[in-house]
Amino acid sequence: MKARVALVTGGTRGIGLGIAEALGREGFALAVCGTRPEQDAAPALAALKKHATEVLYCRCDVADRAARERMLESIERGLGGLHVLVNNAGIAPRQRKDILEASEESFEELLRTNLQGPYFLTQSAARWMIRQKSAAAAWAGCVVNVSSISATVASPSRGEYCVSKAGVSMATQLWAARLAEFGVPVYEVRPGITKTDMTAGVQEKYDHLIAEGLLLQPRWGTPADVGKAVAMLARGDLPYSTGQVILVDGGLTCQRL
């Protein structure tokens, strides 16, 4: 194993691709996963290969336990180890509905993908990280959970999404507390309004809100903004800050009078 290895879930589009690109520039070997066939992700993988030492694509739905385990086995075979886990993969509700009307099926789908899957992927990856640390004292790694300002900012038209991201925030605290004895820091990166395919359907709404002063920094966030924050953590630039939240939201959640 010549380079440190990072796994970025949902790493071939949107915020995940921005994170993977940033880590590739830092010299990481990359494992990226998604639900699409590999040929559909080929343009993103080609872009990543311009920077990363190695790129491994794993087709994996993080809500599927067996698929998660197959993915980790594939990474061990193909890249030899794992240093950084970035839990980024997530979905929005198929339909935005008022919480008075939203279905249990939508709630269950989002919780499985956005919270349950990352939670138990962290469990499996953490066990592997602990084994690596026991075998080589110089091993160093971390876990980064990508949540959202929706962890604390209520949107009654997509309550299930907010609940899932609030759960990710608590999961960060739990894993930070549990993994501290093994020297594995756990962080949360909390993006704000970020221009991706997930937000394309509400672009006009947020263009208007940004123009009216919603943000202190009056522009959309980009996947590259989030990637820079994750790269900082993966490099180990904040070694004494486990459990902390890094906000990448243009000042949206800064309280003002």
Q: Which residues are tagged catalytic?
A: 161
Maximum Cα interatomic distance, the chain, rounded to a whole number of Å: 55
Neighbours of 207 (CB within 10 A): 12
Phi-psi region of 107 (alpha: psi -120 to 50; beta: other; left: phi over 0): alpha
> Are 175 and 122 in contact, with CB atoms under 8 Å apart?
yes
Using a 10 angstrom Cβ sphere, with 0-12 exposed, 13-18 middle and 19 or more buried, the burial of residue 250 is buried
CA distances (Å), 32 to each of 24, 38, 45, 106, 248, in order? 11, 11, 9, 26, 22
Taking the C-alpha atoms of residue 55 and residue 75, their distance in angstroms, rounded to an integer, is 10
